[in-house]
Chain A
Amino acid sequence: MTANRPPQRLKAGRAPGAALLLLALAAALGAQQASSPAPTPVATPPAATAPDQVTLVLQPGDRPLLRLAFPALATGNQQLAGEAGIAARELESALRADLDASGIFTIQGPAELSPLQLTGETAHDFEQYRSLGNEVVLLGELKLEGDRLVLEGRIFDLPSGQAILGKRYRGTFDLARRIAHTFADEILLHFTGRRGVALTSIAFYSDRDGEKEIYLMDYDGRNQRRITAHRSISMSPAWSPSGDAVAYVSFFAGSGPAIYLADIASGLKRPVVTSGSLNTSPTFSPDGRRIAFARSLGSNIEIFVCDRDGSSLRQLTYSSGIDTNPAWSPSGREIAFTSSRGTGRPQIYVMDAEGSNLRRITFSGDYNDGAAWSPDGTRLAYSSRQPGGQFAIAVSDLVSLASRLLVAGNGNHESPSFSPDGRRVAFASTLRGRTQIHVVGAEGGEPRPLTTDGNNYAPDWSGYPPQ
């Protein structure tokens, strides 16, 4: 059980960015060193021959899968045994999992490549990889430099034999997964124009240790750790944009749900807004300086905003209905929220961040809540009650207001949150019995569970870690 690690551990988790040396292998790359932000597929997509290995269901509009040969990482003449061997295996499996989960590659690994007659002679071997339909190959080598693991990874375009990406990373054994994630994100940046999300985290709350507490996990569900120990009800975590803090709601003081801020590096918690009977659903402005939230005035619940330290409290909404669950837009100019004004039923609205220019977004169904912005600000995902009474994840386009269901049926699906690259959505679901955090492609596909222990709720996907 990793959940009981003290918060200090988190400091160690963030520090390695500095320890990790990142050196571009300029020599191997020449003029083709990848820096182009535009999507640049290295080869023409495969025509109609869909290989058996394709497991992702592609939706209209998704880019075709790129066929990647990824043989086992080489270790040169070195024998990586003991701790180094374990770290090497961790690194390789994380890199494979990251690339597989990205959804843009069809990967042929050592098993699929085993029939090939490889000689070590580049032109011959590349022709061998091509013979199985691959368009690019990832060749990597792991070495030891003292107590550090070094990964040299290169990607080659198979038709031309040109190196299109090369990176060298070095770090201590405990950073093996981080090295893999960093390289995977770089590969994604090259092929899609958007950095991968392998170094991002998801905050959520769980009853796995008895009471409901706030937890963090890596984007792939690894390294789950508890960051509160209030032994009360703690819920509704919301990342600060830079990832240095998580705002959350807790009942521990005894006078109703109140908003606190957990500093990730130090583990320190401090109150933001605690006066009144109810303060809930915090969301950060994209500049990280302000927090919008729902607050009870003793008779009604309205959206308020305050500075990060709780000062400069200001009311944004004035309605007779419930106004709650705000979500600040990526541009900072708007706030989506839930309101029961008018109909008495919760619907999603968007207003300007000063409280003006209100417009209703959802018109389908009688219960829509929990809006989450797509990172490009064009869509809102939310929980939408279906005619049978179960909740589905729906997505509305903010221009056309057209909505569609992303995940529906076989349980309740709630609390969506986009990954910072917009390619995935985390949500809480009873798909597998108890409530667990799942991830699904933003265009659809098969949801994958990230948690299994206890009930787990309200995922909030972090932004990109600062570079």
Chain B
Amino acid sequence: MKIAKLTLPLTLLIVSLALLGCPKKPPQSAPEAAPVAPAPQAPTTDVQADARPDTGADQVQVDPLSDPDLANLNSHVRDRGLLGDVYFDFDRAELKAEARERLSRNADFLKSRPEFLVTVEGHCDERGTNEYNLALGDRRATATRDYLVSLGVAASRIKIISYGEERPVCRDSNEGCWWQNRRSHFVVTGRTGG
């Protein structure tokens, strides 16, 4: 319990620092709290960040996809939709047409970054039993991996893991949430050659 209490503020602090590090907007509260000194700092960074093109090499900035920090790398991949989630019908593990379309784009990205190792997480909505959902999530992750492999991504680069219904991205008990939880989710877990 103590650790949990300590961890939350710490996490918030880290998140706050991360947000301050590359803000999309100047911090709203900063001018009120300290109107004189810090205000000019933040907008300067902001302009540079916004001016940076979405794709293509930036001479000054480090390529975010080369960031050795996997957490930073994954937030970049997520923000840019480079490895989008794939969604499933209730109780099913078959890939739908839009899932295949999404996966072909994911495969293109993975082939463009052959050094990335990824884990495919299989998830389920809360309906159904915990045990069967663990198996169903494994099926979903397997189907996802197999399709990527069929598109030319090396099988050795892809691990799968099923979380069943144990780690939902959305926690309400309605279809607005459930569809989001019936998914394969991608995480970059390393790079070849360490």
How long is the Cα–Cα vector from A410 to B130 in the complex, in angstroms? 19
Q: How far is the CB of A422 from the nearest CB of chain B, in Å?
A: 23
Which residues of chain A are within 8 angstroms of B130 by Cβ–Cβ distance? 235-236, 414-415, 457-458
> Among A209, A251, A278, A389, which residue has its beta carbon within 8 angstroms of that of B138?
A278
> Among B129, B138, B160, which residue has its beta carbon within 8 angstroms of that of A369?
B129
> Among B1, B4, B146, B162, which residue has its beta carbon within 8 angstroms of that of A278?
B162
Q: Does B131 contact A (CB under 8 A)?
A: yes
Which residues of chain A are within 8 angstroms of B142 by Cβ–Cβ distance? 296, 298-300
How long is the Cα–Cα vector from A322 to B161 in the complex, in angstroms? 16
Interface string of B157-168 (1 = CB under 8 A from A): 001111100110
Which residues of chain A are within 8 angstroms of B4 by Cβ–Cβ distance? 209-210
How long is the Cα–Cα vector from A370 to B128 in the complex, in angstroms? 11
Which B residue sits closest to A391, measured CB to CB? B129
Interface string of A1-17 (1 = CB under 8 A from B): 10010000000000000
Q: Are A370 and B127 in contact (CB under 8 A)?
A: no
Q: Does B115 contact A (CB under 8 A)?
A: no
Q: Does B134 contact A (CB under 8 A)?
A: yes
Which B residue sits closest to A249, measured CB to CB? B134
> Among A233, A322, A389, which residue has its beta carbon within 8 angstroms of that of B132?
A322
Q: Are A324 and B162 in contact (CB under 8 A)?
A: no
Interface string of A306-340 (1 = CB under 8 A from B): 00000000000000001011000000000000100
Q: Does B50 contact A (CB under 8 A)?
A: no
How long is the Cα–Cα vector from A296 to B136 in the complex, in angstroms? 11
Q: How far is the CB of A236 from the nearest CB of chain B, in Å?
A: 7
Q: Does A396 contact B (CB under 8 A)?
A: no
Give B134-152 interface residues, CB cut-off 8 Å to A: 134-136, 138-139, 141-142, 146
Which residues of chain B are within 8 angstroms of A383 by Cβ–Cβ distance? 129
How long is the Cα–Cα vector from A24 to B139 in the complex, in angstroms? 58
Q: Are B129 and A322 in contact (CB under 8 A)?
A: no
Q: Are B1 and A369 in contact (CB under 8 A)?
A: no
Q: Are A4 and B160 in contact (CB under 8 A)?
A: no
Which A residue sits closest to B132, measured CB to CB? A369
> Among A210, A256, A391, which residue has its beta carbon within 8 angstroms of that of B162?
A256
Q: Are B135 and A301 in contact (CB under 8 A)?
A: yes
Which residues of chain B are within 8 angstroms of A417 by Cβ–Cβ distance? none
Which residue of B141, B146, B166, B167 has the most chain A CB atoms within 10 A of its CB atom? B166
Chain A residues packing against B (C-beta within 8 Å): 1, 4, 209-210, 212, 233, 235-236, 249, 251, 255-257, 277-278, 280-281, 294, 296, 298-301, 322, 324-325, 338, 345-346, 367, 369-370, 383, 385, 389, 391, 412, 414-415, 457-458
Q: A4-B1, A324-B134, A346-B132 are in contact. List 20 more A-B contacts (CB 8 A).
A: A1-B1, A209-B1, A210-B4, A236-B130, A236-B131, A249-B134, A251-B161, A251-B166, A255-B161, A277-B160, A277-B162, A278-B138, A280-B134, A281-B134, A299-B142, A299-B146, A322-B132, A322-B136, A367-B132, A414-B130
A-B contact pairs, 23 of them (CB 8 A): A4-B1, A209-B1, A209-B4, A233-B166, A256-B160, A257-B162, A277-B159, A278-B162, A280-B134, A281-B134, A296-B135, A296-B162, A298-B142, A301-B138, A324-B131, A324-B132, A367-B91, A367-B128, A369-B131, A370-B131, A383-B129, A385-B128, A391-B129
